[in-house]
Amino acid sequence: MKLVLASQNGKKLQEMAQILSQLGVEVCLQRDVGVNVEVEETGTTFEENARLKAQAVMEASGLPAIADDSGLCVDALGGAPGVYSARYGGPGLDDAGRCRLLLENLKGQPRAAKFVSVITCCLPDGTVLTARGECPGTIAFAPMGEGGFGYDPVFFLPKLKKTFAQLSPEEKNAISHRGQALRAFQLELKHHLGR
């Protein structure tokens, strides 16, 4: 089975392909099947946005499509940046700028946070499969590590005394929100395929 990932993000593709290959499922980026849709993430929940993306790419490609919507939810900020994680601080910021803004906005505040990932798969026969994963942690006081992407350098795991950016891809997959959602999704898909 081949799944089209509704994303342009090669790192997400790597993380997903690594876990889903165990099921004999191949994953490719939407551009690999000539699909150019850029879906506006107008939902207010991770579930809504994942569904919007997967549905649009399934309709455009005619193939099973998978999408993930994910983000960082910080308790002291009332769950922000949440579904707006990629757009936090406006379009002028890059990943490093968003991390700096987050540290600035959290000065003197409690540091509890979690990453959330929701994965939705839309099949051409109308079937919709969904799974959610969460990874609790804290926000570090300064960026640490070179790996990963997004908020990885400031997402600290107290048990490991490391940020996500200080973990290998395998270590991150084993505990991350996306890893957990993918493993839950893998079970859903396995059940659906009757394997």
Catalytic residues: 69
Amino acid at 95: D
- For residue 131, give Cα distances in angstroms to 10, 123, 147, 174: 21, 15, 26, 16
Question: Kind of pairing, strands 2-5 and 26-29?
Answer: parallel
Looking only at residues 85 through 124 of this chain, which bind ligand IMP when binding is defined by CB under 6 A? Answer: 85-86, 115
Query: Per rule CB under 6 A, is residue 163 in the interface with ligand IMP?
Result: no
Measured from the CB atom, the residue of 64 and 148 that comes closer to ligand IMP is 148
Q: Is 158 helix (H, G, I), strand (E, B) or coil?
A: coil
Measured from the CB atom, the residue of 65 and 69 that comes closer to ligand IMP is 69
Task: Tell me 8's DSSP state.
Answer: S
Among 56, 69, 131, 189, binds ligand IMP (CB under 6 A): 69
Q: Which two tokens stand for residue 108?
A: 């003197």
Task: Tell me 167's DSSP state.
Answer: S
Query: Per rule CB under 6 A, is residue 181 in the interface with ligand IMP?
Result: no
Query: Per rule CB under 6 A, is residue 185 in the interface with ligand IMP?
Result: no
| Residues at the contact surface with ligand IMP, assessed by CB under 6 A | 41, 68-72, 85-86, 115, 148-152, 164, 176, 178
